[in-house]
Structure 1
Amino acid sequence: MSQFSPYPGAAQAARPVIEPAARATGLTKVYGKGGTRVTALDGVSVKFARGRFTAVMGPSGSGKSTLMHCLAGLDTVSSGSARIGDTELSSLNERQLTALRRDKVGFVFQGFNLLPTLTALENITLPLRIAGRAPDPEWLETVVATVGLGDRLGHRPAELSGGQQQRIAVARALLSRPEIVFADEPTGNLDSRSGAEILGFLRYSVRELGQTVVMVTHDPVAAAHADRVVFLADGRLVDELREPTAGAVLDRMLRFEAEAEDAGPGH
């Protein structure tokens, strides 16, 4: 008997539908009222596929950090939908949101956010210990090896370089095996060499560990480490690039600036 189905598309139809790691649908976020009303996000719809590295870029004030905060459950939405997997964030109360952020979301911030009195290892395992969970020893070893900090685990943050501190933050984000890691300008406080190391670790976590990463950045070189770049302007999704290069990202950003200048100050 032939191994091929007589019905074209039957095999495709049998494949399970895989939910994106996170998605926004018609997402709007408004701050203030009346004369102080600001629309930070204006009907944004975007999906972030599992096991992929996506960079979010745009001019200052374009809404990129707001989008990340809404999708991570750090900020509420005014209208539309924000989901982690198949969970609608607006349906959760504060206790449920806290549990979701703890169990399904990892964060890497520009400022490292490490506790100075704790060792590197204690900082890495802190969120799990707060949740009353012991880290998987084998996974902890994998994560520590991934970020190359095996000989620094007993050091406190003040005894480490900026790049090493950010590596601790990346390890901490990966340790709980989150569905998605959000990174907000993770190389912003680092020199170019340390920044390249962090981007390499994030890239490795996607390629080798199957992690999903969404990174907000203004740096075309950083964005070139991603599988895809999405661009925001004036709170709207306006473009995207697949398999980006630093040059292609820079060209697109320069076009944004030229279009903004052509639109004039009243835009």
Structure 2
Amino acid sequence: MNDPKSRKDKFLNNLGTKTRYSLSQDSLKVFNLSENRWDAYKLKSLKADSLIIEFKGVPNIFIKRHFNLDTIPDYDAVVVASTPCFGICPIFEIIVTKEGKVSYHGEEYLKNEGHYTSHISKSEFKNIMTRFKQANYMNLKKEYFTMVTDCATVYTTFIKNGKVVQSISDYAASSPPEFVYAYNSLFNLEQKMEVSAREVPDYLYNDEIYYASLKGRKNVHLTTSETFYIINSLVEGKETNKTFKEEYTITYSNKLLENIKTDGRYYKIYLKDGTTKTIDVGRNLLEGSNFCELE
């Protein structure tokens, strides 16, 4: 963690999920990356699918899970967004596609704050997808919640063929541990990538948080990850003079923006100075999408 005098400048340093270990007779030693030391545990039992160790007189049991991933569908992109908490929870939005393209916005408590793009390998994307498939992401509930205060909410959205196929809200890490493990792998991805600054128009930046209201034939409060998917599509879209039926209205907090009218594919941006511009994102993002639809 950097300068302790400035709360705003703090961020958690990602040390990864792998480390060295040593196994001998009845002892297991694990190298503690954060303390730069070896931690010793008494080995009680070691089998092909289970491990029991003892630490300070308390047994810890680990069971190896087996997953059947063949029945769980792949996705084309995943979006993860984390909101503020009472502390230094990272506040960010990130989208990673199967081609390895990364679009990222870091708001606070991160190494890289601002708008960036980057790239990961297809094998890295496959590892991320495997974690979510191990969590059986398509069969999870829309919302997980625990009655505690001051925790962050993590929103995760999965995209297939341009549509939202699943979207999940998780407050205070209340979802199954496999799912928490999966989305945590994207929390500090920005620390491991070479990032390039990205130009995002001021009118597409949310003054508070990427959370929008979608009104029309279907009224939806879009989650942070869902909103970021649409905003990211607008940033990557092409300006056009196309006229279209304005079926939906999107609004969010921005001092320059009045609202956005859309049919799902074309988005006409109404600015408060009276000007407009229309963006073609190349596909209908709204029709057939399975939004989280939180109250």
Query: If the length of structure 2 is used for normalisation, what is the TM-score?
Result: 0.25
Identify the structure with the greater helix proportion.
1
Identify the structure with bigger relative contact order (alpha carbons < 8 Å, sequence gap 6+): 1
Which has the higher Rg, Structure 1 or Structure 2?
2
More strand by share: 2
